Structure 1
Amino acid sequence: MAYYSVLDVTPTSESWIPAYIAPANRLVAQYGGKYIARTSSHERLDGQGDTPALRIIIQWPSKQAAIDFMNDPEYLPHLKARTEGSVSNHYLIEGIDGLA
């Protein structure tokens, strides 16, 4: 079953970004992930609150793949840099329609 990481990220510093992209890309692919969207082109259709600078969606082949990516020792310093250099939220969503 597919799982999706949905992130909203607003950088507070951009110094971490150049060193983040290549390792994140490689590790996402290593764990079977696929970027569905990485964009600053988004708009709010409903609701309130701050609008993040970036929206990122990654499809994973399983929940375990997403968790293994997040816990990979090579990713951890990049995760730390992202969380220290941005306001970000990461949600892991099971790819089901529980209301169908």
Structure 2
Amino acid sequence: MYMPGYFVINLKVTNRQKIEEYSDEVAVLVEQYGGHYLVRGGAYDILEGEWDADRVVVVEFPNVEAVKSFHASGQYARLHQICTEGAKSNAIAVAGVERRSA
């Protein structure tokens, strides 16, 4: 059994060029930490409440610890700076539902 971890981000883009630079580079790092994208900026519909984001991103990692390691890494710190130059964002690490190992 294992419990995946998710990195969930919403972005309000202020500089599309910076976000494109961030997106291109962060994808490689996500893979290095065992992550894969479930949602990467696709169209969405607001079903409840207020939502002030241009993009939503959901990345699945093997566990929450992997999300935290990814986010705390020196490689991500550099990319996070690029992201903050291109968007206002909110991000969380959240534990998923326990799964059986394949």
TM-score, normalisation: structure 2: 0.83
1:39 and 1:87 mapped to 2: Cα distance? 15
Deviations 1:35-79 (A, max 9, x none): 00112400100112x431001000010112111111221221110
Alignment-derived partner of residue 80 in structure 1? 81
Aligned ranges 1:1-100 → 2 under 5 Å: 1-48=3-50, 50-96=51-97
1:22 and 1:52 mapped to 2: Cα distance? 20
Runs of at least 5 residues in structure 2 that lack an aligned partner in the other structure: none
Report the number of matched residues: 96
Instruction: Looking at secondary structure, tell me which structure has more helix per residue.
Output: 2
Task: Report if the CA contact (8 A) 1:44-1:51 is conserved.
Answer: no
1:53 and 1:18 mapped to 2: Cα distance? 13
Percent identity at matched positions?
A: 27
TM-score, normalisation: structure 1: 0.85
Shift of 1:17: 2.3
